[in-house]
Amino acid sequence: MSFWKGKKVIVTGGAGFLGSWLIEKLKASGCLEIFIPRRSDYDLTKEADVERLYRDTEADIVIHLAAVVGGIGANKANPGKFLYENLVMGAMMMEHARRNNIKKFTAIGTICAYPKFTNIPFKEEDLWNGYPEETNAPYGLAKKMMLVQSQAYREQYGFNSIFLLPVNLYGPGDNFDLNSSHVIPAMIRKCVDAINKGDKEIIVWGTGEPTREFFYVEDCAEGILLATEHYNKSEPINLGSGMEISIKDLVDMIAKLTEFSGKIVWDVTKPDGQPRRRLDTSKAEREFGFSAKMDFEEGLRRTIKWYRENRK
């Protein structure tokens, strides 16, 4: 409570999925001055708008969540857009934070920054051991440049910025648009909609063989706030749950929880993405006492419930 009291905080992306959870936790922690820049007012890919944002707010802390993001399909369709807009947003937000004497800058990276073939579990020191998985490499590398910028700015300017690497998020309020959603909301929507329409099958991309780690959005928001309060180094930090599940087992679990009993058809002409993902999350626990709390099946139940109540 005492850390956030009296602080002025900018949260880019604060109206989004993760941002809305983070804002609620900030308020509960005693932060009363929170500024959420809307794209209609501040286009963070334009330097004049970034300069005006800092003039208008006179903030103490920036939490940079804003990103142009999507699943495999969206990444394949928009590699140039995803690279440019994420790269420019991150670079300008941090540079102008430095110029405006912001006391702390929390940069949110992505698990897509890791090399395609990384030993399990992913350790932070593995980040530079190879090229990311091709379908989301432009996005992953654009976000990873904030890590390089953070380290360079700490070395040259003494600027206090940190870089966090959250794994795949899910939870109530997620993006359920099939053109841009990630695997959990996409599968929930396909199963629930198939039940409501009376469809006898759903189509799923890939082979189902890859594995993923999933991280409940409320846990992630908690981790980001703890890191912002207590962590003051530029070495990257993983944020995750430490679990691992195959896409096939995930789809079977969602089908069971939604009570979809139809056929699951695997479209093997579509890409699988990175073969395996599971993080080593010990550094976050060691550095600022964070560990995820949400049981995965319970998190899925809450997400399914939210979609059913809000799907229209």
CA–CA gap between residue 310 and residue 306 (Å, rounded): 6
H/E stretch holding 104 reads strand 104-108
Cβ(221)–Cβ(25) under 8 Å? yes
Q: φ and ψ at 116, to 5 degrees?
A: -55, -45
Enzyme catalytic residues:
139
Identify which of 67, 210, 79, 212 has the alpha carbon closest to the alpha carbon of residue 134: 79
Cβ(109)–Cβ(238) under 8 Å? no
Beta bridge partners of residue 11, listed in sequence order: 63
**Structure-token match 């209609």, residue found:** 40
Q: Which two tokens stand for residue 273?
A: 């993405």
Beta bridge partners of residue 35, listed in sequence order: 10
- Please classify residue 226 by burial: count the beta carbons closer than 10 Å to its beta carbon, then call 0-12 exposed, 13-18 middle and 19+ buried: middle
**Residues, the chain:** 312
Please give the DSSP secondary-structure letter assigned to residue 221: H
Sequence-distant contacts of 253-259: CB under 8 A, at least 24 apart: 253/297, 253/300, 254/184, 254/187, 254/188, 254/191, 254/300, 254/304, 255/187, 255/191, 257/297, 257/300, 257/301, 257/304, 258/188, 258/191, 258/192, 258/195, 258/304, 259/195
